[in-house]
Structure 1
């Protein structure tokens, strides 16, 4: 919002100067400036009568310094690492302003300490049908249960991460927000629900939290600066040069098809150079990639709507401008439809069928329509449309990055990162469709090209600290990727712990990904045991969960010997079926009831001996 004489206490000359300065400031500069001005006010520059209204209506006759705590607890629940990344950034920002911050994943937090916290920030994602991520399950159950304490003295705020293409958008965050209020907590700042492009919303949330916390303090973060001078603007810790908001352009070193001739699949092994990036990772981490839309689809859209490809459109709240074609290629998501998008677009058409589709009684029809369709379908199906290209694209969200489990060890491949990317292709609603990122890797890139990438650290999927600990890895299809990284790393560090891999795909002859590498590691002893399941090679389909059941006695013994269990791949079917197979193993070999077997699995999870990288 532009400052004006009518909405501020400044003269016209001051307003003009401020409007020139403020848009040029970085986030750190804004924080420094706000702290500097606040420190001047608290050092006596401002008269007492100008104290904020929040202090005038504080209630009981006790000072804010006595009632407002500088202690902040940040709890995160995260499957892929986004929640932890935001938690750590929020912690850094709070510490820069003088707060004492404790950051913890929800499964590491001791629930008995809930009565001791005063300011709690919850950052949590949602998975599946509104479910909490793995490292939030136990804390989620605790808060829902009868043992949850009253929290009348607790101030809280929730940042919910989700995806509007799913029906139960941000449901776990909504659950936490509601339950903390039911237990008597007071909102420090309203819950913010984030879509896949969460950067701006997360920034709004932490700024709001900081503002609310500062209002509760008698002194601001800069009050501790030397008298008459501003505090140094040096952050507590340096952020990496390249990150999600500043991706590195990585050169493609190699891009090959892992599947044999005759396979109905195409799985790309992509090798990228990290030379000069300063990026580091560990086995189990993921790589985020910002893809571009297919130029053919973009051109179809422009032709369908008779738009001018050179027309300029606004990209974001910051006012960045690009040509329409460039914006549709590299910035806006056009391959996924969501209910919020249809609701926004319905305001640009008088088509009654679209209005009917959005009515509550047609929820099933809406879900069916959204499945497998894109923006081109919507524009064709529900016109005529009012307004121009700028009106349409103003309703689109930014293309979200795609996360891929890293398939290489940095010890074995310095300055490189390898990916295993399954090309997504299918026919739906009369048109051939291709996955945005996988299609780009399979069809529109070659060695020498560059891709914008960043490292997504995933502390919830890590090799055991003890190299002697046995590991069981279950990864069908492209779920094999992190286990290639695991075995490479264990070979490099000469780990002496046993390792067992379960792999599955369609056909042995064409779909045995990295076959020669696994065979070599088996011969050398870096991999102790491997069981495979090729579902289409026999009349009766066989999957990895069947191999687990066939080896139930040995699987149970490995678990009894302290094995760490890792699952990577499809969450809805494979990961669920593997979990059920493991429960069956415990029931059979351990003489457990179903409830005891489930409790055993939960205990493994809490010990970090059962870790999943699922999608």
Structure 2
């Protein structure tokens, strides 16, 4: 494997008697015992872990409809829209809210871990987990049940795809028999190997599945896995539609990412569900199941608290600057839908100007919600739509470029009371958009960079500059 060869090249360049400066590894205090009890229950040491930012109970939703938003042609990332049937739920949502989708690990990944660690005969037996009281500070991780089956917790509780931390790598090295493989793992978690760790683990997003694939002789006790893998957390998604207009269906959109030849855990699963729904045999099988059995075909979701208050201002006359490239446009479809609903039901309502900035690669391939946005324009629910396309040979642009070109009007709009909403990637887009506004304030309002930064901080404090971003 190429990755292993890269690691070997690094090790072979080191002196033969190289000794590494390794972090201190605490003794693993977890102890596991198996029995043949057929009455398998999942029990935590206390209450089960809470769902992050939960505003509702979990609801098992069926997919009422779905569609692909991007083209099947060209080098185009798959983006889908999924609409859930939430009739009978307590999901009272509005534009700007998000849901959490509760994922589970792929069956193939779970089976790989079980097989690699020679646990096939024990995977479905009930276990009991305890700690060695003689080890100082010993405790069972809160997200790991003290009683369950390994298959259940590997499927539902542990994030098998989390990027490996150095202490976890060191723990794995202690159970790696082949000397070169062990030396590589030790080097990666050492002080001397910090650059290699960044280049080969962090930057490549390697997880325990990759380590077991590359380093065949690495076979730790399951207790090491339980002690080191973090919790498998729900994935947040912006709601596309407004609950004011329709609260019995809920729509999200998502792009399917691929890392190390694996599709995104939740997005890949939802894509498979969408494609399976097109299969008539699958639909008939789904209909024949009882409600309890049907849960395997439903999607567990819950409403998240809108901690950032990413929602329309109470005064609808407030001008809006909406910035959402790619799937970042999702919540703004809900914003516009909500403005349309108010306008239809209260015709005398005056709406503030709404200016949306959208970017994608190619308008022929991935201009998602183009029809809807143009419809909002024709109804004057949206007043301006500025676009940027980064894969057009004669005019490559990003949203940040278009914002810069309109700096004079944007600064004037903000000074007139506009609220700014940014939705998208935190590390690149959101940070670069902030830099554009800082530069615009410097050039248009004769501020220093420091003053411009303080102005944005003040806008945020006054709920006039919102960022809904992911990393």
Coarse TM-score class (shorter-chain normalised): 0.7 to 0.9
Structure 2 match to 1:334 = 160
Can you list the C-alpha shifts for 1:514-553, whole angstroms capped at 9, x where unaligned? 1111011100111111101111013453011111111122
State the partner residue of 2:316: 467
The within-5 A match list for 1:45-194 is: none
Displacement of 1:576:
1.3
- Aligned match of 1:590: 445
| Deviation per residue, 1:402-421 (Å, 9 max, x gap) | 11111111012212221111
Q: Contact 1:314 / 1:390 at 8 angstroms: preserved in 2?
A: no
Moved over 6 A (4+): 23-27
Alpha-carbon distance between aligned partners in 1 of 2:188 and 2:436, rounded to the nearest angstrom: 40
Alignment of 1:130-529 (within 5 A): 199=50, 242-243=56-57, 247-263=58-74, 264-308=76-120, 309-313=123-127, 317-322=144-149, 324-339=150-165, 340-349=167-176, 351-370=182-201, 371-385=204-218, 388-389=221-222, 391-426=224-259, 428=260, 432-445=261-274, 449-460=297-308, 461-494=310-343, 496-529=351-384
Classify 1:314/1:284 alpha carbon distance in 2 versus 1 (closer, same or farther; 3 Å): farther
Q: Distance in 1 between matches of 2:393 and 2:144?
A: 56
Deviation at 1:583, TM superposition (A): 1.7
Cα displacement string for residues 532-578 of structure 1 (whole angstroms, at most 9, x for unaligned residues): 11110134530111111111222122112100001010111111111
Of 573, 579, 590, which aligns to 2:428?
573
Contact 2:159 2:231 in 1 (8 A): yes
Q: From the two aligned structures, give the one with the greater helix fraction.
A: 1
1:587: Cα distance to partner? Answer: 2.1
Whether the 8 Å CA contact 1:313–1:390 is kept in 2: the answer is no
User: Structure 1: how far apart are the matches of 2:186 and 2:420?
Assistant: 49
Partner of 1:610: 465
Measured against aligned partners, the alpha-carbon deviations of 1:330-357 in whole angstroms (never above 9, x if no partner) come to 3321112221432443443452332232
CA deviations over 1:62-89 (Å, ceiling 9, x no partner): xxxxxxxxxxxxxxxxxxxxxxxxxxxx
Q: Equivalent residue for 1:10?
A: none
Can you list the C-alpha shifts for 1:442-466, whole angstroms capped at 9, x where unaligned? 1244557311111112242121111
The Cα offsets for residues 78-119 of structure 1, whole Å up to 9 and x where unpaired, read as xxxxxxxxxxxxxxxxxxxxxxxxxxxxxxxxxxxxxxxxxx
CA contact (8 A) 2:321 2:419 kept: yes
Judge which range, 456-465 or 383-392, deviates more: 383-392
SS in 2 for 1:361: coil
Matched residue of 2:300: which SS? strand
Structure 1, 537-546 or 502-511: larger mean CA deviation: 537-546
CA distance in 1, matches of 2:194, 2:50: 30
Distance 1:328 1:587, change over 3 A: same
Query: Number of aligned pairs?
Result: 378
Check if 1:560 corresponds to 2:372: no
1:233-266 CA distance string (max 9 Å, x none): xxxxxx97x43xxx22111112221002314211
TM-score by length of 1: 0.57
Deviations 1:300-356 (A, max 9, x none): 33444443053545695542312x444333332111222143244344345233223
Structure 2's unaligned 5+ residue stretches are 1-42, 130-142, 278-285, 287-296, 344-348
In structure 2, do the counterparts of structure 1 residues 526 and 320 end up closer, same or farther at CA, with 3 Å as the change threshold?
Answer: farther
The structure-2 alpha-carbon separation of the partners of 1:559 and 1:319, relative to structure 1 and needing over 3 Å to count, comes to same
Larger radius of gyration: 1
Q: Secondary structure at the match of 2:192?
A: helix
Q: Tell me the secondary structure at the aligned position of residue 591 of structure 1.
A: coil
Structure 1: any 5+ residue segments left out of the alignment?
A: 1-22, 28-196, 203-238
* Superposition deviation, residue 435 in structure 1: 0.8
Q: Check conservation: 2:92, 2:247, Cα contact below 8 A.
A: no
Distance 1:344 1:403, change over 3 A: farther
Gap change, CA 1:356 and 1:249, over 3 Å in 2? same
- 8 A Cα contact 2:324 2:359, kept in partner: yes
1:390 Cα deviation after fit? 5.5
Relative to structure 1, the CA distance from residue 610 to residue 314 in structure 2 (aligned partners, 3 Å threshold; closer, same or farther) is: farther
- Partner SS, residue 91 of structure 2: coil
With the length of structure 2 as denominator, give the TM-score of the two structures: 0.74
CA distance in structure 2 between the aligned counterparts of 1:198 and 1:502, rounded to whole angstroms? 39
> Relative CO higher for 1 or 2, CA cutoff 8 Å, sep ≥ 6?
2
